[in-house]
């Protein structure tokens, strides 16, 4: 029986050659938001390594939206040129270049992991952070600034202009980051959103900013190219955002024209309790797919070819996204094709390694 993991996936006018995607993974290697040769080699090697879709790391829509000072950004036109080099190479490998646009909110202004992942103050190159409410991720850190109407409109406008630049840079898939405790997720969850205006309180109010950002992105993004939204399907904490709300939001996003829900979880609060194990997030992707009809991507401790094959073949998700597994093996697509005895094109430079 032919491999389902290596079957094509059409989304709008884009066809992914297989169901293997590379998750956005921060590299903490940019300077002033600019990509460099590290990003070209990191993303490019996973394209030549056989993945059908390469999604670039959380790319900040504004300087204050970066997680760390070393994050990629798309807040000025000068940042486009190097990204064009990257997307051209990905396309040359018969892979599709994607980008995740993001704003870190209260989880911004931290040092890179190898520098302690610590909150930075202005004397250390950090900046004031913003959030739906003036409540920090950790109780011992300075509280973020609660966004006012002007600040919210700036976020929406920044997503819009970053999308315009993403088109110019050559990306063919765009993902809105509304997961992992970053700004849009902070608005979704009652554990971080204590607002009493039209952006807080009820479910309809808490999802408002996500829908407004989507509309702004759609105003610049070509109608025939895919839009993904990454969500945390559960906060894994009492009183937090949950799978029922995720299903409800996914249904609305589908109606609004979103093509696929990249289904992750957690990241909002430090007291989360996550039962880690292989496929631990797959049931979320499966439930959203079955209850809404929207395409989903599965993520999280998926490391083996046969494991990914089963997820797609049993229709638990349409796409499988790999992060740490692809850091260990940039040729994940080629390796999995070999293990599953699936036909896939190899770069001609590597062809002699097929046997």
Q: What is the C-alpha separation between 160 and 156, in angstroms, rounded?
A: 6
How far lies 8's CA from each of 2, 11, 20, 301, in Å? 12, 10, 10, 23
The dihedral sign for the CA sequence 188, 194, 198, 199 = negative
What phi and psi values does residue 83 have, to the nearest 5 degrees?
-65, -35
Q: What is the C-alpha separation between 355 and 350, in angstroms, rounded?
A: 11
Helix axis angle, 282-292 to 243-255, nearest 10°: 50
Residue from 80, 92, 258 nearest 178 by CA: 258
Residue from 173, 191, 187 nearest 229 by CA: 173
Structure tokens belonging to residue 120: 């930075």
137 catalytic, yes or no? no
Q: What is the C-alpha separation between 43 and 183, in angstroms, rounded?
A: 25
Q: Which residues contact 240 (CB under 8 A, 6 or more apart)?
A: 189, 190, 191, 234, 268, 269
Residue of 171, 182, 199, 280 marked catalytic: 182
Structure tokens belonging to residue 299: 């993520």
Q: What is the C-alpha separation between 231 and 207, in angstroms, rounded?
A: 12
Spell out a b/e string for 262-274, using b for 16 or more CB atoms within 10 Å of the CB, else e: bbbbbbbbeebee
Report, as residue numbers or ranges, the catalytic residues: 182
């Amino acid at each position: 029986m032919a491999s389902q993991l290596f079957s094509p996936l059409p989304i709008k006018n884009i066809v992914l050659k297989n169901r293997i995607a590379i998750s956005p993974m921060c590299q903490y290697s940019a300077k002033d938001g600019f990509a460099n040769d590290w990003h070209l080699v990191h993303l490019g090697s996973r394209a030549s390594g056989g993945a059908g879709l390469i999604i670039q790391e959380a790319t900040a829509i504004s300087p204050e939206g970066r997680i760390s000072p070393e994050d990629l950004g798309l807040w000025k036109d000068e940042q486009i040129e190097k990204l064009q080099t990257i997307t051209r190479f990905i396309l040359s490998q018969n892979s599709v270049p994607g980008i995740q646009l993001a704003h870190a909110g209260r989880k911004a202004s931290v040092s890179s992991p190898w520098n302690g992942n610590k909150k930075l103050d202005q004397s250390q190159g950090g900046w004031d952070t913003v959030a739906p409410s003036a409540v920090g991720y950790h109780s011992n850190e300075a509280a973020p600034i609660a966004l006012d109407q002007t600040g919210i409109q700036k976020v929406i406008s920044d997503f819009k202009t970053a999308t315009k630049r993403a088109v110019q840079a050559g990306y063919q898939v765009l993902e809105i980051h509304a997961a992992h405790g970053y700004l849009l997720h902070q608005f979704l969850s009652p554990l971080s959103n204590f607002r009493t205006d039209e952006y807080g309180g009820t479910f309809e109010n808490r999802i408002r900013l996500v829908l407004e950002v989507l509309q702004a992105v759609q105003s610049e993004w070509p109608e025939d190219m895919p839009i993904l939204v990454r969500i945390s399907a559960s906060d894994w904490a009492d009183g937090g955002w949950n799978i029922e709300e995720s299903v409800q939001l996914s249904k609305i996003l589908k109606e609004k024209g979103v093509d696929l829900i990249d289904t992750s979880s957690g990241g909002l609060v430090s007291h989360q309790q996550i039962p880690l194990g292989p496929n631990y997030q797959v049931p979320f992707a499966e439930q959203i797919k079955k209850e809404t009809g929207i395409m989903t991507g599965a993520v999280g401790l998926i490391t083996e070819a046969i494991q990914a094959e089963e997820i797609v073949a049993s229709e638990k998700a349409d796409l499988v996204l790999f992060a740490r597994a692809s850091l260990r093996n940039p040729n994940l697509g080629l390796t999995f094709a070999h293990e599953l005895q699936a036909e896939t094109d190899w770069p001609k430079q590597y062809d002699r390694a097929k046997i």
